[in-house]
Amino acid sequence: MPLLNSGGAPKIEVARCTGCGRCVAACPDRLLTLEVSGFRKHALLAEALRCDGCLHCLPACPVGALTCAAAPCPPGRSTSAGQGPPYVTAVEEISG
C-alpha cells in the first residue's frame, strides 16, 4: 500500500483513504487536497514542506487513513499506517 510521507507531516495511506475531504477541511493552512486517481479520490499533502505538523487533520479522518510521521501522535492514534482507530473511536476522540 503506498504511503505519502514527509518528515513531521502526516502520512496518508492512499488505499485506506475514502476521499471524503474531512482532512482537507481541517487543515488550517490548506495544504491537503483531494487527488483523483482512476475512479477514486484520495487525500494528498500538496505542500509537505510548509506543513508545521499541527495534526488537525488526524482526528478529522473517519477511517484512520492519516497517521503520524515524526511528531508525537495524539491519544488513540497509532504511528504505523493502517493501524488507526476505527470510526467510532475517531468520533469519540473529537467529541471529547
| pTM reported for the whole predicted model | 0.64
Domain ranges of the chain: 3-95
> CA 90, CA 65: separation in Å to the nearest integer?
11
Among 40, 68, 37, 63, smallest CA distance to 53 is for: 68
Given a cut of 60, is residue 40 above it in pLDDT?
yes
Architecture of the domain whose range is 3-95: 2-Layer Sandwich (3.30)
Q: Each residue of 57-78: pLDDT tens digit?
A: 999 999 999 987 554 555 554 4
